[in-house]
Amino acid sequence: MTTEAEIIARIENGVGRITLNRPKAIHALNRPMCEVMTQALLAWRDDAAVTSVLIDHAGERGFCAGGDIRTLAESGAGDASEARAFFLAEYRLNHLMFDYPKPITAIVDGIVMGGGVGISEPAAIRIATERTTYAMPETGIGLFPDVGGGWFLPRLPGQTGVWLALTGARLKAQQTIELGIHTHYVPSDQIEALKADIVNGGEPIAVAERYDFRIPPGLSDHRAAIDRLFAFDTVEEIFAALEADGSDWALAQLAVLKNKSPQSLKVSLRQIRTGARLTTFADNMAMEYALGGRMVRTHDFQEGVRAVIVDKDNAPKWSPADLSGVTEATLAALFAPLPEHEQWTPLP
């Protein structure tokens, strides 16, 4: 019995191709997948015969649903060593892509969440389709929007990154294109032709522009409200602003937030505000690495995974159960720098 490779990496006519090939799990990333992608990208980086990179996925369920959360929770229930090893490999891959000297095209067709954002957002060309659904839903499982979320989200227009980080809102292509999360919209029935044109020697950005369909914005009606109501530096102030606003939309956002982990909400807001002030992507990844290794060991992450992934009762019992229980001391401990010999570093 043979097992299919979870990552298919090859060179086709000067294009380095990476295909995610774990369709039953919607290509959820594990450490070996990250390591194979990293090895391929390193090999192609200095290969003059490779002019660009194309990342896509097998099957039709989605691009990548995130990281292998169940494995992270099992590790976090112990010493978290495997979780830290995964984050080390994943974040080094994210950073390698962010600084890659050759154009990367990511075909984000279908679901793209969490870790899937981490391996598509650093790409120069990010192509969405009518099947694209984007989200950073980590506050619903006691985590935070990692894989570079602390860098990318605060650099979205206005306060939309804060809104996405806290609520885990799911966006379709109209909204992601409007915010610049994805760069081009191509109908799914045109994707194979687009990929063929790139592999046959087309310059990736020119090909993407040729296939791009202009679509109307999909978030404009709520942009002013997002920028006004999510502009605060504490979650308590955001809750109060939403309640005081009183509109159906604002109260709907408040109801969503009240179901999220209070600890994750405060961690995620601090992550976004801190990431906005950082000057390099590497500094952001170092912050997220220290944070991730601690968060997977918390009650809320273990409980969130139980409720959403394991038992699927969607009724997590958060602890602390409300915002007032998440103290400044708790946040300071979670965000504290690691000892120098334990800190995250980019690939040499």
By annotation, the residues acting in catalysis are 67, 115, 138, 146
Radius of gyration over every alpha carbon of the chain, rounded to an integer in angstroms: 20
Q: Cβ distance 220 to 174 under 8 Å?
A: no
What 8-state DSSP symbol labels residue 156? Answer: S
The C-alpha atoms of residue 236 and residue 244 are separated, in whole angstroms, by 12
What strands lie across the sheet with 133-135, from one edge to the other? 62-64, 111-113, 133-135
Task: Give dist(CA 336, CA 315) in Å, integer.
Answer: 30
Task: Copy the structure tokens of residue 201.
Answer: 């020697």
Q: What is the largest CA-CA distance in the chain?
A: 61
- Of 16, 14, 62, residue with least CA distance to 43: 16
Number of H helices, E strands in the chain: 16, 9
Q: Do residues 68 and 87 lie in contact, with contact meaning Cβ atoms separated by under 8 Å?
A: no
Structure tokens at 1: 């019995």
Q: How far apart are CA 127 and CA 110, in angstroms?
A: 11
- Pairwise CA distance, residues 269 & 161, whole Å: 10
Measuring CA to CA, which residue among 84, 11, 9 is closest to residue 51? 11
Count Cβ atoms below 10 Å from residue 328 Cβ, excluding itself.
8
Residue 103, Cβ density class (10 Å: 0-12 exposed, 13-18 middle, ≥19 buried): middle
Token match 């995610």: residue?
20
Asked whether 169 and 157 are in contact (CB, 8 A), the reply is no
Do 92 and 85 contact (CB within 8 A), yes or no? no
